[in-house]
Chains A and B, each alone.
Chain A
Amino acid sequence: MTLQTMNPAPETGTPIANSLTAGRLPTSAPWVILGTAIAVSASVFGVVAVGAGSGFDWGGALVVGAILYIPAIWLFSRLVEGARRATDRLVTALVTGAFLLAMIPLVSLSITVVTFGLARFDADFFSMSMRNVTGEGGGALHAIIGTLLMTGAAAIISIPIGLMTSIYLVEYGRGKLARGVTFLVDVMTGIPSIVAGLFAYSLFAIFWGPGTRTGIAGAVALALLMIPVVVRSSEEMLRLVPNELREAAYALGVPKWLTIVKVVLPTSIAGITTGIMLSIARVIGETAPLLIAAGFTASMNYNLFDGRMQSLPVFVYTQYANQGNPAEAFLDRAWAAALTLILIVMALNLIARLVARLFAPKLGR
């Protein structure tokens, strides 16, 4: 208030009611401009729709309206608030736009998968294989069994190795070996999934002859992709265990391995479980390595060590790639399998986060 009386609005010369809000757009201005922009674009689209006799394109109208908003807000702000604030508003609009832009594929993908997937999301789909099915009908039971078996085997291989490696890195690792392992685990997270598949194929081709495609080869490929994720997440969780707990155990004369088993692991078990479930969710959708190492088939196969094995992601791909007659039946099965796959991944993600929240250790404070 005193400021106002001392400097009575020198630039404009006209008295201003409140110097703090002068030269600023009112807080409702962006919304008004956004609404106007969308209304303008909607009316243009409406005229085009009437003129061309086609339906009204809601998505196009919204997108064009949002794009119109960006120069409009910049212009208004430039006129009222000056160049600096105009740039600020422009960047705010762009940054928000970037986020909304990223939501478009997510929303579009969810809607598509659910609408197309529900067509064959029935009891047959979960109780039949594709054996002797050439057209309509059939199901993905063989693929679901294969996915469960191979992912399970991959988990059995990678959880002990991953967990012990993270224990090594946190509790024992010193010097060059530990640094090398940390570095290689980081690099391993970036191995292309198809290279993992080629490795598993080569490994089994050398020992069991070329052309060998079995479930266990697929499991080895998945394990290669899963180990680094398990190591990284468990390592992070083990490092969160406070050192006071370890020292208290040592002070009581507890051997180091018992300290790890009875104190460190129970404290961090919730986080480790979450990490493992997320890593399973990551590999369960892998297609390329299984296509290479485990192949594909139309029949049930319960034996990991003999014969090709189908899996859900590869089922999606083969249904799409080898469309027969009628093509619609094959595409419907592909979408239904995609829906199943996404539901499994989402369930794993949700359960993992619930475990992390419900069983988190109470560290006081």
Chain B
Amino acid sequence: MTSAPAPIKAKLRVGDLVFSRSAVFAGSMILVTLAAVALFLIVQSIPALSATKEDASILETNFWEYVGPLVFGTVWAAALALLIALPISIGIALFISHYAPRRLASVLGYVVDLLAAVPSVVFGLWGIGVLAPAVVPVYTWLNENLGWIPLFSGTVSATGRTILTAALVLAVMVLPIMTAICREVFLQTPVLHEEAALALGATRWEMIRVAVLPFGRSGIISASVLGLGRALGETMAVAMVLSAAHVVTFDLLTSVNPTTIAANIALSFPEAYALNVNVLIATGLILFVVTFAVNAFARWIISRRKEFSGAN
């Protein structure tokens, strides 16, 4: 028996070494950056957690009482936006993937993507200049005819700058990403399933119900979670449209509305000083943790389905 020949060692080149090391370095920079974001926010937040009315002038009692209504407002506005945007985005995605003429489909998809390109501050300007005055008659009608529903009770805001208007603007802003993900997964439905349904005599809607929607369920879920993440962190549109107070209320149409964490930071930060800055950063940390959890959940759902690659 002859001994195995010594393995051939590749020549070590300086160029290779430098290149691979810098690639690894850049990759680890991502880890370092995210860790740094968490670390710096935590360091700046610690003084705020135990602060009281005497230390920071924007607090009424203590930090947790301050942040409670903000968390409620953030979740409430995002949930409303999602409720509005989800059926519409599924509809648009179905329209583009299964109803529109083939040749038009990509153009229509691009048109919807144009909405994503509009900066949020412009949405804010539009929301306050065009949308808010336009919805006031609708709100008045809702209040007069459906006022017995607690959501629509109270005195209608004369400016239209309510949480429902903010949620409408948010819904428009999260539509493109939700539509893009739904569309992608609807297009991946196996053609054989669709043709089998049609061959059995199903109408187009029945085909979609039995073949496309079950296949796209996880895509729809991840799209809504990602949309929720976007809506939670959206700042300027809410800050500009909403006439905010520091309250917890479910009324949709009055001029007393809960505000969101992000909008509150944007409005208060430029004038904040001393410990107030730390308080605001601490609310930002809470927002960071919430959106991180929501996004990680969405990614986990997507990663359970490897064949689906339309999320980014």
Given contacts A92-B204, A192-B232, A256-B16, contact A287 B40 (CB under 8 A): no
A231 at the interface (CB under 8 A from B): yes
Partner of A202, one of B44, B89, B120, B172: B44
Instruction: Encode contact with B along A187-202: 1 for CB under 8 Å, 0 otherwise.
Output: 1111111111011011
Interface flags, A267-305, vs B, CB<8A=1, else 0:
000000000000001001111100110011000000000
Q: Per-residue 0/1 for B259-282: is the Cβ within 8 Å of any A Cβ (1 yes, 0 no)?
A: 000100110011001000100110
Say whether B115 contacts A106, CB under 8 Å: yes
> Which residues does chain A contribute within 8 Å of B94, judged by CB atoms?
95
Given contacts A98-B92, A192-B291, A320-B240, A181 and B118 within 8 Å (CB-CB): no
Known: A165-B30, A195-B41, A285-B122. A96 touches B99 (CB 8 A): yes
> What is the CA–CA distance of A303 and B249 in the complex, to the nearest angstrom?
46
Can you list, as one digit per residue, whether each of A156-187 has a CB less than 8 Å from chain B (1) or not (0)?
A: 00001111110111011100011011011111
**Which B residues lie within 8 Å of A260 (CB)?**
19
Answer yes or no: A342 CB below 8 A from chain B CBs: yes
Nearest residue (CB) in A for B87 is A98
Q: Does B145 lie at the interface of the complex (its beta carbon under 8 Å from any beta carbon of A)?
A: no
Residues of the B chain whose Cβ atoms lie less than 8 Å from the Cβ of A233 = 312
Chain A residue, CB-CB nearest to B123: A109
CB <8 Å contact, A255 and B284? no
Number of interface residues of A (CB under 8 A): 96
Residue B141 CB within 8 A of the other chain: no
Q: In the docked arrangement, what's the CA distance between A184 and B115, Å?
A: 27
Look across to chain B and name the residue whose beta carbon is closest to the beta carbon of A253. Answer: B11
* Nearest CB of A to B269, in Å: 5
Task: Tell me the bound Cα distance from A109 to B240 in angstroms.
Answer: 16
Point out the residue from B16, B273, B312 that lies within 8 Å of A232, measured CB to CB: B312
Contact at A186–B295, with CB atoms within 8 Å?
Answer: yes
Give, as a whole number of angstroms, the nearest-CB distance from B142 to chain A: 16
Q: Do the beta carbons of B281 and A206 come within 8 Å of each other?
A: no
Q: How far is the CA of A192 from the CA of B291 in the complex (A)?
A: 7
How far apart are A337's CB and chain B's nearest CB, in angstroms?
Answer: 9
| A338 adjacent to B122 (CB under 8 Å) | yes
Q: Is the CB–CB distance between B27 and A177 below 8 Å?
A: yes
Partner of A287, one of B108, B204, B208, B236: B236
Cα–Cα distance between A338 and B232 once the two chains are bound (Å): 24
Q: Tell me if B67 is interfacial: C-beta within 8 Å of chain A.
A: no
Interface centre among B43, B91, B122, B204 (most CB of A within 10 A): B122
B299 touches A183 (CB 8 A): yes
User: Is residue A94 contacting chain B, with contact meaning CB distance below 8 A?
Assistant: yes
Instruction: Answer whether residue B146 sits at the interface, using C-beta atoms and an 8 A cutoff.
Output: no
Q: Is the CB of A288 within 8 A of B235?
A: yes
Per the 8 Å Cβ criterion, residues 108-152 of B in contact with A are 108, 111-112, 114-115, 117-126, 128-131
Contact between chains at B27 and A99 (CB < 8 Å) = no
Q: Is the CB of A84 within 8 A of B203?
A: yes
CA distance A268 to B218 in the complex (A): 31
With A177-B28, A189-B312, A260-B19 as known contacts, state yes or no: A313 contacts B119, CB within 8 Å. yes
Total A-B pairs, Cβ < 8 A: 273
Chain B proximity of A52: nearest CB distance (Å): 13
- Residue among A99, A178, A193, A224 having the largest count of chain B Cβ atoms under 10 Å: A99
Contact residues in B for A295 (Cβ distance below 8 Å): 270
Tell me, yes or no, whether A203 is within 8 Å of chain B by CB: yes
Q: Does A15 contact B (CB under 8 A)?
A: no
With beta carbons under 8 angstroms apart, the residue of A87, A103, A190, A256 that contacts B205 is: A87
Judge if B191 is at the interface, Cβ distance under 8 Å: no
The answer to whether B26 has its CB under 8 Å from any CB of chain A is: yes
CB distance from B138 to the nearest CB of A (A): 11
Contact A165 B269 (CB under 8 A): no
Verify B25–A288 contact, CB threshold 8 A. Answer: no
User: Which of the candidate stretches B31-39, B53-61, B157-165, B250-258 sits at the interface with the other chain?
Assistant: B31-39
Closest 6 CB pairs of A and B: A192-B233, A285-B119, A98-B91, A164-B26, A257-B19, A190-B295
Please list the residues of chain A having a beta carbon within 8 angstroms of any beta carbon in chain B: 84-85, 87-88, 91-92, 94-99, 101-103, 105-106, 108-109, 112-113, 116, 160-165, 167-169, 171-173, 177-178, 180-181, 183-196, 198-199, 201-203, 205-206, 210-211, 224, 227, 231-233, 236, 255-258, 260-261, 281, 284-288, 291-292, 295-296, 313, 316-317, 320-321, 334-335, 338, 341-342, 345-346, 349
20 example contacts (A-B, Cβ-Cβ < 8 A) are as follows A94-B91, A99-B92, A168-B26, A169-B27, A171-B23, A181-B30, A181-B31, A192-B234, A195-B37, A205-B44, A206-B44, A256-B20, A257-B13, A257-B15, A281-B117, A285-B121, A287-B119, A287-B120, A317-B121, A317-B124
- Contacts A95-B99, A255-B13 supplied; 15 other A-B pairs, CB < 8 Å: A99-B91, A102-B88, A102-B92, A106-B111, A109-B130, A168-B26, A172-B23, A198-B265, A202-B281, A206-B40, A224-B33, A257-B15, A285-B117, A317-B240, A349-B117
